[in-house]
């Protein structure tokens, strides 16, 4: 179960949603989560899995639980530090 800190909405995660949540590390593209995890573990059609996963992550994003990004999240600074 996860809860939105923004609006206190609760989400009960089933087995597939839990697998998505655990794989959403900020670095792995959603397409890789679908093909490499969801389709393999749950024997689901890739197109249907993609639609369902996109709907799920969009809903979590709308409640402020998950951040969707076009680029991976990195821990490195945007520009290198200046030499002293």
pLDDT of 80 over the 70 cut: no
41 in any annotated domain: yes
Predicted pLDDT at 6: 86
| Residues 15, 35 contacting (CB under 8 angstroms) | no
Predicted pLDDT at 76: 52
51 in any annotated domain: yes
Predicted pLDDT at 84: 45
Q: Mind listing the pLDDT tens digit for each residue in 7-58? A: 888 999 999 999 999 999 889 999 999 999 999 999 899 999 999 999 999 9
Range of the domain at 28: 2-62
69 in any annotated domain: no
Cα(7)–Cα(34) distance, integer angstroms = 28
78 in any annotated domain: no
- Number of domain units in the chain: 1
* Rg of the Cα atoms in the chain: 15
Predicted pLDDT at 78: 52
Q: What is the pTM of this model?
A: 0.76
47 in any annotated domain: yes
9 in any annotated domain: yes
Cα(52)–Cα(45) distance, integer angstroms = 11
């Amino acid at each position: 179960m996860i809860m939105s800190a923004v609006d206190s909405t609760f989400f009960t995660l089933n087995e597939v949603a839990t697998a998505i949540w655990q794989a959403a590390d900020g670095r792995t593209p959603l397409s890789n989560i679908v093909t490499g995890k969801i389709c393999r573990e749950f024997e689901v059609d890739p197109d249907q899995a993609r639609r369902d996963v996109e709907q799920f992550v969009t809903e979590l994003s709308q409640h402020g639980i998950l951040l969707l990004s076009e680029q991976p999240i990195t821990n490195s600074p945007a520009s290198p530090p200046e030499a002293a």
